[in-house]
Amino acid sequence: MILLLGLQSIWSCSPEDITYYNNEEVDIATIARVILEPNQRRLIADGHAQLDLRPVMFDQKGIRIPDTRVKEEWLEYTSDEDISLSRHFSTTETSLIGKTVTIRVKIKGTDIESSPDSCRIIAPLEEKYTSDIIIPVIFHILQTKEDIESYGGPYSDEKITLHLSKLNNLFAGTTSVNPVGVNTHIRFEMARYTPEGQKMLTPGIERLTIQELNAADTINGFADFLTARHLLWPPERYMNIWLISDRKNKVNDFANTISADCYPHYVYPGTPADNRPEGIAWQEISPGTTFGPKNAGVIYKLQELDVVSREFSDKSYLASANNELAYYIGCYLGLFTTCTFSTGTPGIDVELKPDYCDDTMNYWGTDFMNRTFNTSWYKQAQGCYFRSENIMDDPTGLHISVSKNQCERIRWVLENCPERAAWKNDFAFTGK
């Protein structure tokens, strides 16, 4: 009887007892404060790059008002330089290059105005690089017999082509309007000839089927395994990408122990020491130096190619989870991660790891309580709120943009590192 009365009391609420929430537009008088959270501190003056000024509004109680409840026409963007502004700002005005623009947003018809924020206008990349670099690529696909017979057959050529297209869109910047994103004028194309000069039946794709993958095969980062099977093509002619099926997880933490170990190390003799990019212990190459797989390309877990939703970090929360292939190609070209994981207190016990590029957004993967955060597409860092698009962002990022400084670093590596010289001859495309 008591239970029935309780249920009756729950379901007998009158309309006056129910709280209704209004999700329509707020009255402009509700806005008490506004701030700016732009998505960058720099903007390339090429007319394509776009700065999102992102106003954030609060009511009298300090509660944030959702963007969807505020009319854009209520906001007025101003600059000390008398530049015409809107929320999404791009420019081709060369007179602004090298200048810092001071920006504010005001609620029209009121005295409510944000504190000033700023953005530096930088020159387009096209003023520095105009010619294309074409890198010949060979995909070595290694699958076990069980993998092929029980899990849908050989990995398809069409999927490999799509991944290459995605990579080229990233380096061309075609799917992003990132404020510092550029067209690198770097393209990847399928090799058409083998090292012996024979025309390939399927350009850029070589396959090997093995009975099974053993723990012994993984020793020394697959170096002996790949070399013994003649799967290391000369890095002075090809960029190697090995796609190894490891469905049974013979390799623990494939991403950080294998895939990420692909940085360039050698430079040509006489390369000026003061001009070498920071972060790598460069060595001048000696006569007779031979390259192993980790010098010559990227080793990647085949099963990771088609993963759609990725974890942010590994199980320890101290390192990246498996990232997209593009991230490790960034490593191969000399780039470093933009995200720092830490066991100490960020900013006190541990500093952000540098990626040696001034125009990227570096951010923490842990907060002051050592919990993971910044785990979605959107990140907060340096007073900015931005969509994670950079090639070197964590696994939850989109990886559709290369920054101007990153491109300059990559170009230096391609020009000065013998391990990355495949683009300098056309053997992979002509066979001679």
CA 71/CA 61 separation, integer angstroms: 20
What is residue 10's predicted lDDT score, i.e. its pLDDT?
46
> pLDDT for 375-393, tens place per residue?
899 999 989 999 999 999 9
Q: What is the DSSP string of 46-67?
A: SSS--EE--EEEE-TTSPEEPG
Q: Pick from 285, 287, 243, 213: which is nearest to 137 by CA? A: 243
Residue 135, SS3 per DSSP? strand
Top-tier CATH class for 133-430: alpha beta
pLDDT at 145 over 50: yes
> pLDDT for 202-218, tens place per residue?
999 999 999 999 989 99
> pLDDT for 168-187, tens place per residue?
999 999 999 999 999 999 99
Q: Pick from 370, 374, 317: which is nearest to 345 by CA? A: 370
Q: Which tokens go with 209?
A: 């089927």
Spans of all domains in the chain: 30-123, 133-430
| Structural element, H or E, at residue 328 | helix 325-332
Mean predicted lDDT score pLDDT of the chain? 92
Choose the weakest-confidence range: 99-108, 335-344, 422-431: 335-344
pTM, entire model: 0.91
- Cβ partners under 8 Å of residue 414, min gap 6: 133, 135, 186, 333, 420, 421, 423
Give the residue, 291 or 25, on which the prediction is more confident: 291
According to DSSP, residue 346 is labeled: B
Q: Pick from 430, 409, 431: which is nearest to 420 by CA? A: 409
What is residue 127's predicted lDDT score, i.e. its pLDDT?
73
Report how far apart the first and last C-alpha atoms of the chain are (Å, whole number): 93
Top-tier CATH class for 30-123: mainly beta
Side-chain-facing half-sphere of 83: CA atoms under 13 Å: 23
Topology alike, domains 30-123 and 133-430 = no
Q: Which tokens go with 139?
A: 């995909």
Outline where 350-426 has alpha helix (H): 404-416
- Cβ partners under 8 Å of residue 14, min gap 6: none
Q: Which long-range contacts (CB under 8 A, 24 or more apart) does 302-305 make?
A: 302/141, 302/142, 302/143, 302/155, 302/243, 302/244, 302/245, 302/246, 303/245, 303/246, 303/247, 304/254, 304/255, 305/155, 305/159, 305/163, 305/243
What is residue 3's predicted lDDT score, i.e. its pLDDT?
46
pLDDT band (50, 70, 90) for residue 67: confident
